[in-house]
Amino acid sequence: MHIDFYNLGFDTPRATFYLWSPWRSSALEHRLFEVVTGLLGGKPEQEADEWRLNVTDAKPFHAALQAVCRVLKGWQEEADAGQERRAWRWLFEGDVDAQGYDHQGERACIWAYLRLSIDRNGVGEADKGEDIDLNGFGVRIWPNGS
């Protein structure tokens, strides 16, 4: 399938949404995974330390990204007006050795994670911003041939 991830094109056999360490993940990470699961209508594979949901069609993948975006926009709107600014962005990561494998010996792939930014500053105050990585929620874009 060919997926469009915010104007980055990938040819992949599938993509997988993950929720790692569900007992430790934040409510927002659970909400993101729940909205994807509800939209795709599948039952996630559940192991002791992670839940995952595979997507093999481009249209449902795009719809899932839109649903994640809507949840995050709702999170942004919950900020206190004039007191706090919230933003979010996707971070892409991949590691590979000279033979094309990652640190766990699997074929290299692309991972997408979310980073939240919260700025709490008033007029005349120093910046009080913080970045929060959502380490419990992510998307894996698999390589061809896997």
Summarize pLDDT for 91-123 with one digit per residue, the tens: 999 888 888 888 778 888 999 999 999 988 766
Q: How confident is the model at residue 126 (pLDDT cuts 50, 70, 90)?
A: low
- What are the residue boundaries of the structural domains of the chain, listed by start? 2-141
Total Cβ atoms within 10 A of residue 29: 21
Q: How confident is the model at residue 83 (pLDDT cuts 50, 70, 90)?
A: confident
Q: How confident is the model at residue 124 (pLDDT cuts 50, 70, 90)?
A: low
CB under 8 A, 24+ apart: contacts of 30-36: 31/71, 32/68, 32/71, 32/72, 32/114, 32/134, 32/137, 33/137, 35/67, 35/68, 35/70, 35/71, 36/64, 36/67, 36/68
Instruction: With CA atoms as reference, report the closest residue to 142 among 99, 114, 107, 96.
Output: 107
- Name the token pair of 115: 């980073």
- Name the token pair of 64: 């899932």
CA 53 → CA 25, 34, 130, distances in Å? 16, 11, 30
Which position has the higher pLDDT, 43 or 62?
62
Of 18-27, 102-111, 136-145, minimum mean pLDDT range: 102-111
Q: What is the pLDDT of residue 146?
A: 60
Q: What is the pLDDT of residue 76?
A: 94
Q: What is the pLDDT of residue 106?
A: 82
Global pTM value: 0.88
Q: Tell me the mean pLDDT in the region 73-99.
A: 90
Q: Is 69 helix (H, G, I), strand (E, B) or coil?
A: helix
